[in-house]
């Protein structure tokens, strides 16, 4: 089994996916894992050969995959169990096939880079809403529920009742990184904090090219600018 912590013991499952906004509703289900499926929960369709590079110079090779629900990088043990990579603070970076991942509070997949700056993205499936069944079987949103079951999303535990429906959605957050692999969300104040000396050129460029900090193509252009001496 890939993700024992995803299980939610309930009566039945219903999942509806919206292609445009990556949103799913899970009603009274067997498990989020079986409801959403591996193709949604994981970065890759199956665990792929990868390497974990540690800050002390050690390298560990394993079958790896990134779990978008828990936010964990997971690996397959020799006994075929699925576990999460621990002590992330000791990780320099991780490679899976041709992809590279950094850890700075969350896992960030490298999109574009040069000697001065990096662009990465953090993908996570998060809880949007919890609805509890009330009178006559009607569902209503609730922020406080008395529960016996739970699941984890982005390392945050959520407890659920047996008659609870949850709505999940996928978020993509872009990050800007420096040459020391420090990352911050792609916001103007963070760019200023990391590249203060280049801010006059950055502000002029962003204004002239109408750069949007939530669009990957625009952020690639910004990284290219930051890479210029």
Tell me the pLDDT tens digit for each residue of 5-34: 443 333 333 343 333 358 888 876 556 777
Per-residue pLDDT, 199: 95
Per-residue pLDDT, 219: 98
Per-residue pLDDT, 127: 83
Per-residue pLDDT, 20: 38
Residue showing tokens 């922020």 = 143
Q: Which residue, among 123, 119, 59, has the nearest Cα to 95 in the 3D structure?
A: 59
Six token digits for residue 216: 């990957």
Cβ-Cβ contacts under 8 Å for 208 (sequence gap 6 or more): none
Per-residue pLDDT, 26: 80
Instruction: Write out residues in the chain with pLDDT < 70, as ranges.
Output: 1-21, 28-31, 132-163, 229
Alpha helices in the chain (DSSP H): 32-36, 38-41, 188-194, 199-209, 216-226
Per-residue pLDDT, 147: 35
Region label for 8, one of left (φ > 0), alpha (ψ between -120 and 50) or beta (otherwise):
beta
Per-residue pLDDT, 155: 55
**Helices and strands: H and E segment counts in the chain:** 5, 15
Three-state secondary structure along 10-64? Answer: CCCCEEEEECCCCEEEEECCCEHHHHHCHHHHECCCCCEEEEEEECCCCEEEEEE
């Amino acid at each position: 089994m890939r993700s024992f912590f995803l299980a939610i013991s309930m009566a039945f499952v219903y999942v509806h996916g919206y292609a445009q906004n990556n949103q799913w509703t899970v009603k009274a289900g067997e498990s989020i894992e079986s409801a959403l499926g591996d193709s949604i929960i994981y970065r890759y369709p199956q665990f792929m050969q990868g390497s974990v590079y540690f800050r002390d110079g050690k390298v560990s090779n394993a079958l790896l995959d990134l779990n978008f629900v828990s936010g964990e990088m997971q690996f397959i043990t020799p006994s075929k169990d699925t576990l999460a990579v621990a002590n992330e603070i000791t990780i320099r970076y991780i490679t899976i096939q041709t992809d590279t991942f950094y850890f700075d509070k969350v896992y960030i997949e490298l999109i574009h880079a040069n000697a001065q700056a990096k662009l990465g993205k953090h993908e996570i499936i998060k809880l949007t809403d919890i609805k509890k069944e009330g009178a006559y079987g009607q569902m209503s949103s609730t922020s406080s529920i008395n529960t016996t079951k739970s699941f984890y999303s982005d390392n945050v535990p959520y407890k659920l009742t047996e008659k609870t429906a949850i709505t999940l959605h996928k978020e993509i957050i872009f990050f800007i990184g420096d040459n020391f692999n420090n990352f911050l969300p792609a916001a103007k104040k963070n760019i200023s904090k990391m590249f203060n000396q280049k801010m006059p050129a950055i502000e002029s460029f962003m204004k002239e090219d109408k750069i949007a900090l939530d669009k990957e193509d625009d952020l690639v252009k910004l990284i290219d600018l930051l890479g210029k001496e």
